[in-house]
């Protein structure tokens, strides 16, 4: 072991353990990592899974609509969606009524993923070791804060 470095005078608010941002950032990545082995069986990444959550509900959405719901821009979505298109899970086409928009449509193979994904949420929940009530409280708080910022 190296010698422990002497603690210097640091603003408490600048200590990692007092941050809100850090556990948020770390927890987000940890949760993504918890999804990874489950999603790997579906050949999906976590952001791709989020796109499918929306498409399973809506069948088709524009890139703009996906971006609004996921808070992601075209710089992230365009290459992601092209990869899903290559796998024949979605189609991309310009809206004939407004050629600026690109409509993303769920293809049969993409819809078929829904059935296989059904068990994912409960498997994740089991790993969290929290009660449904705690889950709800936290979800509500995070959504509230998100609405303040977004």
Residues in the site for a copy of itself, rule: CB under 8 A? 2, 5-8, 10-11, 13-16, 18-32, 34-35, 46, 50, 53-54, 56-62, 69-71, 95, 97, 103, 114, 117-118, 120-122, 124, 127-130, 134-135, 137-139, 141-143, 145-146, 148-150
CB of 94 to a copy of itself, least distance (A): 12
Q: Give the whole-angstrom CA distance, residue 85 versus residue 90.
A: 5
CB of 46 to a copy of itself, least distance (A): 8
Quick one: what does residue 100 bind among a copy of itself, DNA, none, with the CB cut-off 5 to 8 Å set by partner type?
Answer: DNA
Q: Can you give the three-state secondary structure of 39-54, one letter per residue? A: HHCCCCCHHHHHHHHH
């Amino acid at each position: 072991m190296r010698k422990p470095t002497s603690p210097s005078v640091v603003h408490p608010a600048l200590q990692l353990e007092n941050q809100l941002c850090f556990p948020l950032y770390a927890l987000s990545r940890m949760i993504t990592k918890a999804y990874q082995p489950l999603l790997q069986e579906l050949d999906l990444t976590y952001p791709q899974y989020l796109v499918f959550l929306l498409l399973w509900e809506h069948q088709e959405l524009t890139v703009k609509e996906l971006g609004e719901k996921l808070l992601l821009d075209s710089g992230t979505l365009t290459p992601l969606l092209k990869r899903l298109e290559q796998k024949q899970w979605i189609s991309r086409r310009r809206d004939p009524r407004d050629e600026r928009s690109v409509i993303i449509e769920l293809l049969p193979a993409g819809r078929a993923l829904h059935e296989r994904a059904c068990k994912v949420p409960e498997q994740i929940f089991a790993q969290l070791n929290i009660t449904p009530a705690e889950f709800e409280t936290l979800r509500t708080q995070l959504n509230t804060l998100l609405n303040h910022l977004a």
